Amino acid sequence: MNEAATDVTQEAKQRAEDRRIITPYAFHIPFEVLGMPLAAPWRRALALTIDLIVIALLSTLNGYLMGVILGWIFWRMLSDSPFSSVTRKLLKTLATLVILVSSIAGIISFFDKENGQVNEVTTSLQNISSVVTLARVVSCDTGACWQPHLQETAHFIASQTTNKAAAKKLISQLLEDSPLSTDEQKIISQQLLTLALPLQGSMTNQPDVTEKEKSAVATKTGGIKEEQLESEDPIVIAPFAEEATPTAQGPLAWLRALLEELGLGFGWAACYFTLFTAWWNGQTPGKRALRIRVLQLDNTPISLWDAFGRYGGYGAGLATGLLGFIQIFWDPNRQAIQDKISTTVVIATHQSKKITASTEVADES
């Protein structure tokens, strides 16, 4: 009896992990895990497709609403978490803050958007008013008819032009078909120009151009001088090639762009895969629909950190040119690169019985 107890104690001491040498205990697989049926590749691919579709639908929602939803999910998950009471309270407080901040930010954003729409409507009404005024003044046959509308017309000219030459050109176009005499046209033109030029600076609200900036502009425009810019004569600038921005080509680049559009960075997709995998014990909505589950090789529950580490494996799969995903077809335990990173496998939950290596899985492809 004493010898048996001594052997157990000795074995326990030997099983103590020593991070100076390689030990077999980190690779130990419990007996109850052996023989579990692995999920077929087509089930895993279809489950991932469903998850990506769900993420695409969620990405169309308002970001603040997503923050509230994910904060609530995280808060619910903590009710069954193995953390200590103090840690659980701290994390619940953090989740509550996420919900509150997302709610407040969403309300503020909503009212800002409403104000922006009101401003757009006001601007549109002002533009309509300017058009009506122009329709009136172009039909005026006397200078006295123009006088009540000079200020509003000058505002319109200032909003449509940025320099003296452009203002002169627009004024001449307005007066081109006017029934006014030549002398009256000159007087009205001078009055409009006098009123519009000061308004150009106040409406554009741009800082003064430095000599260095003028030189840069002159270089781009082929050495055109400032006097030429102020003249009424048209200036023809030779077209020049735009600098081409290199863009990645190929199906892999397209897939990466698609995943970025779906938020597969450190964002909502990370929260989706992390929270659902930890909350549903290795399942996401897609995996639950296909009746498969992520299982850790040591048969311990998947924590948030474990789920997040496995999600990082998706990025590694893209970095390997999708080879990390395709390896499930020849890997002995159907482990993709995310499974290798997190020491997990994906099992089929619809097959309750264990099978041996010689038994064929009915749905394996």
- The continuous run of DSSP H or E covering 296 comes out as strand 292-296
Given a contact cutoff of 8 angstroms between Cβ atoms, the answer to whether 71 and 102 are in contact is yes
Interatomic CA distance for residues 99 and 78, integer angstroms = 15
Please give the DSSP secondary-structure letter assigned to residue 222: T
Nearest Cα to Cα of residue 144 among 180, 91, 113, 174: 180
Q: How far is CA 3 from the centre of its chain?
A: 64
Q: What is the pLDDT of residue 131?
A: 59
Structure confidence by residue, pLDDT tens digits, 203-248: 544 444 445 444 544 444 444 444 444 444 444 434 444 444 455 5
Interatomic CA distance for residues 327 and 323, integer angstroms = 6
Top-ranked range on mean pLDDT: pick from 18-27, 29-38, 106-115, 210-219: 29-38
CA angle 156, 153, 118 (to 5 degrees): 45
- Around 274, how many Cα atoms within 13 Å sit in the side-chain half-sphere? 19
CA angle 99, 103, 104 (to 5 degrees): 120
- The continuous run of DSSP H or E covering 54 comes out as helix 41-59
Interatomic CA distance for residues 210 and 230, integer angstroms = 17
Of 57-61, 90-94, 183-187, 348-352, minimum mean pLDDT range:
57-61
Q: What is the pLDDT of residue 210?
A: 47
Per-residue confidence at 195, pLDDT binned at 50, 70, 90? confident
Q: What is the pLDDT of residue 70?
A: 72
Q: How many helical (H) and strand (E) elements, i.e. helices and strands, does the chain have?
A: 16, 2
- 310, pLDDT greater than 90: yes
User: How large is the average pLDDT for residues 54-62?
Assistant: 76
Structure confidence by residue, pLDDT tens digits, 125-159: 455 555 555 656 666 667 777 777 677 777 777 77
Q: What is the pLDDT of residue 58?
A: 75
User: How large is the average pLDDT for residues 261-275?
Assistant: 68
Percentage above 70 pLDDT, the chain: 58
Interatomic CA distance for residues 329 and 332, integer angstroms = 9
Structure confidence by residue, pLDDT tens digits, 89-127: 787 788 788 778 877 877 777 676 655 554 555 555 455
Predicted model pTM:
0.49
Given a contact cutoff of 8 angstroms between Cβ atoms, the answer to whether 95 and 78 are in contact is yes
Per-residue confidence at 288, pLDDT binned at 50, 70, 90? very high
Interatomic CA distance for residues 146 and 188, integer angstroms = 8
